[in-house]
Amino acid sequence: MNRKKIALICLCVLCVFKVVSINPKIIDTLEIHKQIKAFDIDEEILNFKSNFFSSIVFKNDSILYYNPNGTLHLFEISLGENTNVSKISNSLYCGHNFNRELFIHNNIVYSYGGVGLFNSYPRLIYFDSDLSGWLEKDIKNYPFDTRHVLSSWKIGDKIMVLLNHFSESVYNKSDEICQFSFGEIDLTNFEYTQNFTFESRDTELGPKPTDYFYDSEFYSILGKYEDKGKIGYRAFDKKKGTLIRNSKLDGLKRVDGLSYVYVKDSTVFYRSHEGEITSFNINSGTTINTKDFLKQYKGRANNYLTSKIIILIILFLLLIGIYFRESLIYKLRKKNKLPNNKVDNALYIEEKLIRFKNGIISREKLDELFNISHYSYETIKTRRSMIINHINENGNMLITRVRKKDDKRFYDYKIS
């Protein structure tokens, strides 16, 4: 046998192996659902029909894991001539891990992030087969003030993550500027590295939760159910952080227990009811639109840095202004030439403070007594400090700051 024939045979074998290796076996959802119902799990919690195709990950072509959205149930499903479903977890309904990132790394199932019950869970957990339950995985250098995992995707041995952090007021409101950071978790040593930070009022900064999900090394296929049994597919490029919609993806039908859509390398495969497989390049067809999330994050970070520089310049100028103003006030104090009116007249204010002597009042109440609460923030701070200093210098009474009992970040004022 000559070399050309050997090379041709090897090529054919390689092609056959490639086709087999990228073709998950038929997923008989009716049979899977039937076997899962035998475990007597509340159908409302399970929500099988709506979330099955967004809650599965493949160990290989024949074995997949199903983790119903918002629960800690875990099923191992063996595909083939006879479908077999095993419940491998003892964990029950959790409620805080809706729309989590579900993935497999080194044959271990992980769940990252999630929301629910008016709360969020910004941590990484993994399934321990020996314990038949989930355990939290510690991540070195992970931000302690992380509030919510806004967006994440696994690529190679890393998870790229966009985190939302707690603000100073603890409760992030819709009209409040929030703090974000973008970084990566190394799955070889479970260490977090922050790449950049930014501030924004917008919290819709990542791909939205989907009803269909298939993940591969460099691309993910995301699908959102639409009216009349249709579905809108998008491809997510993990390297670029870009969500793609094109005419080829729009031409795909909604899958069920016999048909299926999956991706290998940069090729999308569609298996019909009859078992016929068609394929196309994920970037082929007419591009309808793209959303570059990574570029969006970096752009906000650059704008944030520019804003910080501008703020620093403004603060510097304000400090210079305050310095000269304090110098002037100091000179006026030395000459005892404070304005003789009800706002700055220390004796008048002391008379109003007598009834609060040996007590504690709030900052707001103190500003009201000083009659300065109608001024701007910076003016209030300056006048409050000036009046307190003058009263303390008079020696008739003493005003000191004390930390609030219910929130140590803020202060009240003690009159003695």
Mean pLDDT of 391-416: 83
pLDDT confidence bin for 208, thresholds 50/70/90: confident
Q: Which of 20-29, 52-61, 219-228, 406-415 has the lowest mean pLDDT?
A: 20-29
What are 123-160's pLDDT values in tens digits? 999 999 999 999 999 999 999 999 999 999 999 999 99
Domains of the chain by range and CATH? 20-39+67-135 (no CATH), 338-416 (1.10.10)
What are 155-179's pLDDT values in tens digits? 999 999 999 988 654 444 555 678 8
Q: Which of 33-42, 47-56, 90-99, 365-374 has the lowest mean pLDDT?
A: 90-99
Q: Which of 159-173, 216-230, 325-339 has the lowest mean pLDDT?
A: 325-339
Q: What's the pLDDT at 262?
A: 94
Tell me the residue length of the chain.
Answer: 416
Mean pLDDT of the residues in the chain = 83
Q: Of the segments 13-17, 208-212, 289-293, which one has the largest average pLDDT value? A: 289-293
Instruction: Give the separation between CA 381 and CA 391, rounded to whole angstroms.
Output: 16
Instruction: Say if residues 372 and 383 touch (Cβ distance below 8 Å).
Output: yes
Instruction: Say if residues 96 and 83 touch (Cβ distance below 8 Å).
Output: no
Q: What's the pLDDT at 16?
A: 39
Model confidence, pTM: 0.67
**Residue 308, helix vs strand vs coil:** helix
Q: What's the pLDDT at 401?
A: 86
Residue type for position 181: S
Instruction: Give the separation between CA 98 and CA 143, rounded to whole angstroms.
Output: 22
Percent of the chain residues topping a pLDDT of 70: 84
Largest CA distance in the chain: 112
89: pLDDT strictly greater than 80: yes
Instruction: Say if residues 192 and 183 touch (Cβ distance below 8 Å).
Output: yes
364: pLDDT strictly greater than 80: yes
6: pLDDT strictly greater than 60: no
pLDDT confidence bin for 335, thresholds 50/70/90: very low
Rg of the chain's alpha carbons, rounded to an integer? 31
395: pLDDT strictly greater than 90: no
Mean pLDDT of 7-30: 58
Instruction: Say if residues 147 and 120 touch (Cβ distance below 8 Å).
Output: yes
Q: What's the pLDDT at 85?
A: 97
CA contacts within 13 A on the Cβ side of 221: 30
Q: What's the pLDDT at 46?
A: 87
12: pLDDT strictly greater than 50: no
